[in-house]
Structure 1
């Protein structure tokens, strides 16, 4: 049985899209560095931050991942069907779903750190 995996480029785009709400500069910088290491251009990184991709299959995968994070059954079903029409396999979507849930947990973990406070909410002394 052939083992499939997500490409480094898609993994990076998923991380950017799913962690776009993160306000931690360290995390954002790390994600951008990882994306560049995966071969993404500045424009591709900017698109991923907004939940988009220039590649149709990657875009469908990102939309599906965002739907998974939303826990909306309708959004998940709709985006899964669209991703399948765009050429993603069920196995790839299973991997995207797993990655989306991992990143959602990471987002919660990062957001709960004491040093993870948006600048506008930091106490002024």
Structure 2
């Protein structure tokens, strides 16, 4: 058997992407003296027509749903530290609870373990590296 080595064809250099390196002269593009300057308001108005179209209620519902999810996530992120605070304050009201002798102490021990685990998880997700 004989094998034939096939190499891909050599691509020519394309000079069409950079002004000055292209075959076109920079002067051939002309100037923009007669055109109106685009302001930030014009750009925002143009983008808003895609985000909130006048005649497409499906897109409007999707935008409202996405914004409600965003607000809900922000509210949840704000309330989680307060929930941790209330849980720790409630656990600090008792003495010698970290044991498994009876049902209330077992529940309290499990709650502490969950709080420690969730705290470690949040630290890990923020730092992206969890090494001992």
Both structures adopt the same fold (TM-score exceeding 0.5): no
Structure number with higher helix proportion: 1
Greater CA radius of gyration, 1 or 2? 2
RCO higher in structure (CA 8 A, sep ≥6): 1
TM-score with structure 1 length normalisation? 0.25
